[in-house]
Every structure is written in structure tokens, then in C-alpha cells.
Structure 1
Amino acid sequence: MINNIGKITLYFENQEDAKNFWVKKLNFVVKLEQEMGPGMKWIEVAPSKESLTTFILYDKNMMKVQNPAVNVEHPSILLSTNDIDKAYIDMKNNSVEVGELMNMPYGKMFSFKDLENNDYLLREDK
């Protein structure tokens, strides 16, 4: 069902300052950096190019606009799967509270909650 702890989103007031901190001070590498639309940028860093798990350095204020309910004072955890449709059905069958299966331009994903109502995202890696 879940194959990997894929990404952990860290929220920052300034993405460029955050990128410089992780890259210049901690010797991380930028694994992905791309524009996501007007005023939005996706930045992923990791200890090495080979690392499976990455930190997403996300703009705190942009997330507050996109989803005011998200706690931007705490990291968001994205897990990975190779078969999102099966994982969605399996979780629902296991009585896990799941959100809507979303088909985004960058892939399919859905949210789910653990037993204490903490939120996670599961994303399909292809």
C-alpha cells in the first residue's frame, strides 16, 4: 500500500532563504525546483541526489491562502505509493478516514487521517 516516506513539507516565510540554508549551510542538494503557477514555486531538497525522502520548502503564506486549515507551524508528511487507486480502496476498506482522490497536474493524491486525527497525504510516484 505505502512504499516510502516520500516528502516532508516544511513551511517558510521565504523559500529562497530556506533553500540557501539547507543547500549552503547543510550541504543538501536541490532535487527539484520548478514554477507551479503565478507566484508559486516547488522546491525539494535532500541530503543527496540519491535520497528517496525530500524536504519540500513551501511558502507559508501561499499555503495559508490555498488551505487556511493547514497547520503551517508543523511539517506536512507526504507518503508515496506505486498504485494510488489500490491504496485508496484498501484504506477505505480498512476504515481509514480518507479525503477525495485528487487528480492534479503533477499526479494523483489523497489525504487521510490517523487515529488521532493527524493529516497525511499519499501521492502516487510513477
Structure 2
Amino acid sequence: MINKIGKITLYVNNQEEAKKFWTEKLNFVVKFEQPMGPNMTWLEVGPSESEFTTFVLYDKNVMKAQNPSKNVCHPNVILSTTDIENAFTKMKENGVEVGKLTKMPYGKMFSFKDQDGNEYLLREDK
């Protein structure tokens, strides 16, 4: 049946701004980028070239035009790191809006916001 999580679509206000956020501030790489017609690009980013799972950065307005009933609200996404303190420091240095670094019995984590103000959670997994 299902053996991997392939792609997670993030609906964004501006693909180029989203691309810059993920690649310049969070050090993701562009995994795939291809025009899909006028004013439309398929754009995937991921944490590394070798990582299978990607975020598809899809323009909200394009999706609304294609499918007016489509819910383009932000999904709840939890990302993973093996060094939470380093990630927290680097994200702050890169100008990312980060929340408080929290230590819970089940792990350390903090929230951060992207270029559109969507919130994510970064959790340490060792």
C-alpha cells in the first residue's frame, strides 16, 4: 500500500517569495520547477537533494481559479531536526519569526512562521 509521504502542498500567496523563504532562510533546495502553462509553475522544495518528501509551493489564486471550492488554508506541518538549538539560532539569524524554544518530556520544539505568516512546528528527533 502506502510506503512514503511524497508531497505536501502549501498554498502560498507568491511562489517566488515562498521559494526565497524556503531556500534562503531555511536552506531547502529546489527539487523540481517547471512551467505548467501561462502564469503557472509547479515548484517543489525539500530539505536536501536526497530527501524524498517535498513541499509543493502552489499559488493560492491559481488554485482558487481552477477549483473555487478548494480549501487553500494552511495544513498543520511538523518538521524534524536532530539539533534543535542550532536550527533555532540559524533561523533567528536568517530573520525567521520564531516562537519560544520549549522543552517537553517528549522532546524539544519551537514554532516559526513563513513569508505568509503560516505557522509550522520544528521538533527535535534523535
Q: TM-score of the superposition, structure 1-length normalised? A: 0.58
Identity of aligned residues (%): 68
2:31 & 2:9 partners in 1: Cα distance?
14
One-letter amino acid of the structure 1 residue matched with residue 35 of structure 2 = E
Q: Which runs of 5+ in 1 are unaligned?
A: 77-126
Instruction: Find out whether 1:20 has 2:20 as its counterpart.
Output: yes
Runs of 4+ in 1 over 2 A off after TM superposition: none
Query: What SS does the corresponding residue of 1:17 show, helix, strand or coil?
Result: helix
Query: What SS does the corresponding residue of 2:71 show, helix, strand or coil?
Result: coil
One-letter amino acid of the structure 2 residue matched with residue 5 of structure 1 = I
Q: Give the aligned length.
A: 76
Q: Is the 8 A contact 1:12 1:18 kept in 2?
A: yes
Shift of 1:46: 0.3
1:17 & 1:38 partners in 2: Cα distance?
19
Shift of 1:3: 2.0
For residue 106 of structure 1, what is the aligned residue in structure 2?
none
Q: Which runs of 5+ in 2 are unaligned?
A: 77-126
Q: TM-score of the superposition, structure 2-length normalised? A: 0.58
Instruction: Find out whether 1:54 has 2:57 as its counterpart.
Output: no
Query: What SS does the corresponding residue of 2:42 show, helix, strand or coil?
Result: strand
2:4 & 2:38 partners in 1: Cα distance?
31
Aligned-residue CA RMSD in angstroms?
A: 1.4
Which structure carries more relative contact order (alpha carbon 8 Å, separation 6+)? 1
